[in-house]
C-alpha cells in the first residue's frame, strides 16, 4: 500500500477551546496540525485581557465535568492535572432575588436539600424527583447522544422513542415547573440553559441534565482562568509537532477535486491540508469561508432562518481597596431581576432591551487573589440581551454607556454598595464586540440556539454536509456550546476523521 513520505497535514481555523481540542485529537491521530486564529491569544471566548494588573477572563468561568478535559489529555498520552490546576468551588454559586431571599448551590446533597426546605419545604419531594430526572437525561443526553456522531438521520431516528419517553419536547422550565411550585426554585432549576445560549422556556428539557452534572462532578475554577487551559492545550499541540499561529485570519476554505484542500489566509498565504477543521462559527464558515462553493444545506437563506442564541452585554471592571468588602459577593453570584418569563421573552422573542435586568457576577479574586492588584478585586457582570438580528435592533453605539451605568446602579443597590468610589479599570463587550471579535453571526453569545429542532442531527454536522474533508468543531455544531460541549464536538469529530496514514519513512523505521 502506498504511504505518503510526509505526515498528513491538518489545518484548524480558530483557537477556541473547540478548535484546540480538535487539534489535540488530530495530533493524536497522527496529523501534523496548524491552528490559526485572528486574535492575539488562544482560547477564543475563553481568553483573557489584562489591564492595570487586573486579569479579565472574558468568557467561561465555571468548569464542569472535569473528566472531559482529563479524557482529552489522556487521548494525547498526557496528564491534564500536571498541566492545569482545577480548584473545586464550594459553594458553587449564590442566587439572590429582589425580595432579599437567596439560594446557595453546593455539591453536598444535604446542604442542597436544606436550601430547598428553607425556601419551600413542600417542594422537597419534587426536588428529589427533579434530580432523578436530571440523572436519567444525563445518561441519555450527555453520555449517550452527546459523545456520538449525529450526522446520519438514522442516528436521530434511533433516539426518537427515548426522546418521546423523556418528553424532550417539554422545555427546561416546563419540566422544573412540573416538579416544584415555588417560583424561586423554578428559576434555580431552570436558568442553566442561559449559560449555553438557550431560552429556558423553549430549550428541550434534556438540558436539565446540567443539574446532575453539577451535583455529580462539581463546579471548578481553573487557576489562571480558562485561558490557562487554552495555553496548556497549545503546549500539547506544540509537543505533538503542531503549531498555533495567532494574528492569522482565514479568508477562504479551498477545495480541489471536490474535497477540502487547505485554507487561504487574509494576507494571501495558502496552507494546504488533507483535513480542514473550522472552529469558526458555522454561520461564518458557510456564509463566508465557503462562499465560493454552492451550498446545499447551509445556504444563506437557511442560516438566516435559524434561531440564534442571545447576545451578551459584559462589563469587566476592576476595583481598588475592596478586598474584604462586600462579603455577599462571592466568586459566582446571580442577581435575579424582577421578571423571569417576560424578561426572557424580551431577550429572545421581542428583541427588546429591557430596563430591568438579571446579572451574573464573576469575582474570581475571591478564589485567586492574583487576578487583581493587592487589595483590589477583578469582576465581570454579564447581562443577557437580544442579539443583533431583531428588526428593532439596539443601537449599541448609543446604548452601551447608559446600559453600563444601569448595570452599575443594580450592582450598587443589590450587591456592591459604593462601587463607583472604588472603580479602576472598565471595559465593555456588547453583541457588536462579539460579532467583530469572534466573527459571531448576529453577535450571538453561543452560536445557534440549542432548541430541539436545532440540536443533534439538526445542527450543522461535525463532518461537513457541504465539502468532504471539512469538519466542524465548536459551539455551533453537535453537541453544542459550553466548555464540556465544545470539547465534546472535538471528541465526536475525532470519531469521524480517519487516522492519518503513517508516513513511509516511519513505516521503514518501524520495520528496522
Positions in the binding site for ligand FAD (CB under 6 A):
13-19, 36-39, 44-46, 59-62, 195, 249-250, 279-280, 284, 312, 314, 382, 438-439, 445-446, 474-475, 481-483, 486
- A 10 A CB-CB count for 210 gives 25
- Of 22 and 168, which has the nearer Cβ to ligand FAD? 22
The rounded distance, in Å, linking the Cα atoms of 264 and 272 is 8
- Of 14 and 373, which has the nearer Cβ to ligand FAD? 14
- Of 59 and 242, which has the nearer Cβ to ligand FAD? 59
The closest residue (CB) to ligand FAD is 16
CB of 43 to ligand FAD, least distance (A): 7
CB of 387 to ligand FAD, least distance (A): 12
- Of 200 and 474, which has the nearer Cβ to ligand FAD? 474
- Of 157 and 496, which has the nearer Cβ to ligand FAD? 496
Show Cβ contacts of residue 229 under 8 Å, excluding neighbours closer than 6 positions: 17, 43, 46, 63, 69, 84, 222
CB of 278 to ligand FAD, least distance (A): 8
Strands 259-265 and 54-57: unpaired
Strands (E), 229-310: 243-245, 250-256, 259-265, 270-272, 275-278
- Of 44 and 198, which has the nearer Cβ to ligand FAD? 44
CB of 188 to ligand FAD, least distance (A): 17
Is 329:416 a contact under the CB 8 Å cutoff? yes
Nearest 5°: the CA angle 350, 352, 353 is 155
CB of 75 to ligand FAD, least distance (A): 17
CB of 245 to ligand FAD, least distance (A): 9
- Of 60 and 218, which has the nearer Cβ to ligand FAD? 60
The rounded distance, in Å, linking the Cα atoms of 95 and 44 is 28
Residue 492, by phi and psi: left (phi above 0), alpha (psi -120 to 50) or beta? alpha
CB of 64 to ligand FAD, least distance (A): 6
SS (H, E, C) 74-87: HHCCCCHHHHCCEE
- Of 159 and 273, which has the nearer Cβ to ligand FAD? 273
CB of 250 to ligand FAD, least distance (A): 4
Q: Is the peptide bond prior to 354 cis by the omega test (within 30 degrees of 0)?
A: no
DSSP H helices, 218-366, are 226-239, 282-284, 300-305, 341-345
CB of 164 to ligand FAD, least distance (A): 29
Q: Is the peptide bond prior to 479 cis by the omega test (within 30 degrees of 0)?
A: yes
- Of 334 and 452, which has the nearer Cβ to ligand FAD? 334
Is 487:229 a contact under the CB 8 Å cutoff? no
Amino acid at each position: 500500500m502506498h504511504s505518503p513520505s510526509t505526515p498528513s497535514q491538518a489545518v484548524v481555523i480558530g483557537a477556541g477551546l473547540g478548535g484546540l481540542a480538535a487539534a489535540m485529537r488530530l495530533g493524536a491521530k497522527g496529523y501534523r496540525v496548524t491552528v490559526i486564529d485572528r486574535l492575539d491569544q488562544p482560547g477564543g471566548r475563553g481568553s483573557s485581557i489584562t489591564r492595570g494588573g487586573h486579569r479579565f477572563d472574558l468568557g467561561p468561568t465555571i468548569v464542569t465535568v472535569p473528566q472531559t478535559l482529563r479524557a482529552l489529555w489522556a487521548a494525547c498520552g498526557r496528564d491534564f492535572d500536571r498541566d492545569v490546576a482545577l480548584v473545586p468551588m464550594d459553594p458553587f454559586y449564590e442566587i439572590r432575588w429582589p425580595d432579599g431571599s437567596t439560594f446557595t448551590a453546593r455539591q453536598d446533597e444535604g446542604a442542597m436539600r436544606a436550601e430547598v426546605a428553607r425556601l419551600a419545604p413542600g417542594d422537597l419531594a419534587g426536588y428529589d424527583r427533579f434530580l432523578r430526572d436530571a440523572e436519567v437525561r444525563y445518561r441519555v443526553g450527555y453520555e449517550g447522544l452527546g459523545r456520538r456522531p449525529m450526522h446520519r438521520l438514522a442516528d436521530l431516528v434511533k433516539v426518537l422513542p427515548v426522546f418521546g419517553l423523556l418528553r424532550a419536547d417539554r422545555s427546561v422550565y416546563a419540566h422544573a415547573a412540573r416538579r416544584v411550585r415555588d417560583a424561586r426554585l423554578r428559576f434555580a432549576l431552570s436558568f442553566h440553559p442561559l449559560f449555553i445560549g438557550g431560552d429556558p422556556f423553549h430549550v428541550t428539557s434534556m438540558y436539565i441534565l446540567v443539574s446532575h452534572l453539577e451535583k455529580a462532578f462539581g463546579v471548578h475554577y481553573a487557576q489562571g482562568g480558562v485561558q490557562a487551559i487554552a495555553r496548556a492545550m497549545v503546549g500539547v499541540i506544540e509537543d505533538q509537532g503542531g503549531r498555533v499561529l495567532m494574528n492569522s485570519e482565514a479568508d477562504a476554505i479551498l477545495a480541489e477535486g471536490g474535497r477540502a484542500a487547505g485554507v487561504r489566509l487574509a494576507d494571501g498565504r495558502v496552507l494546504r491540508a488533507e483535513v480542514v477543521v473550522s472552529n469558526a462559527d458555522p454561520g461564518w464558515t458557510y456564509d463566508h469561508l465557503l462562499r465560493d462553493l454552492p451550498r446545499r444545506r447551509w445556504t444563506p437563506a437557511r442560516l438566516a432562518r435559524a434561531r440564534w442564541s442571545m447576545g451578551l452585554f459584559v462589563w469587566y471592571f476592576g476595583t481598588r481597596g475592596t478586598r474584604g468588602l462586600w462579603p455577599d459577593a462571592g466568586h459566582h453570584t446571580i442577581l435575579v431581576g424582577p421578571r423571569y418569563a417576560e424578561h426572557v421573552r424580551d431577550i429572545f422573542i421581542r428583541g427588546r432591551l429591557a430596563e430591568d435586568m438579571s446579572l451574573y457576577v464573576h469575582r474570581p479574586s475571591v478564589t485567586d487573589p492574583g487576578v487583581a492588584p493587592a487589595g483590589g478585586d477583578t469582576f465581570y457582570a454579564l447581562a443577557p440581551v437580544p442579539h443583533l438580528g431583531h428588526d428593532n435592533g439596539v443601537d449599541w453605539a448609543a446604548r452601551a454607556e447608559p446600559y453600563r451605568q444601569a448595570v452599575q446602579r443594580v450592582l450598587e443597590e443589590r450587591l456592591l454598595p459604593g462601587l463607583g468610589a472604588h472603580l479602576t479599570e472598565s471595559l465593555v463587550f456588547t453583541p457588536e464586540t462579539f460579532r467583530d471579535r469572534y466573527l459571531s453571526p448576529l453577535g450571538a453569545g453561543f452560536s445557534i440556539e440549542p432548541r430541539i429542532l436545532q440540536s443533534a442531527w439538526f445542527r450543522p454536522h461535525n463532518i461537513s454536509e457541504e465539502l468532504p474533508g471539512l469538519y466542524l468543531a465548536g459551539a455551533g455544531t453537535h453537541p453544542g456550546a459550553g466548555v464540556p460541549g465544545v470539547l465534546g464536538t472535538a471528541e465526536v469529530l475525532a470519531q469521524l476523521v480517519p487516522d492519518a496514514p503513517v508516513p513511509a519513512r516511519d513505516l521503514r523505521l518501524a520495520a528496522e
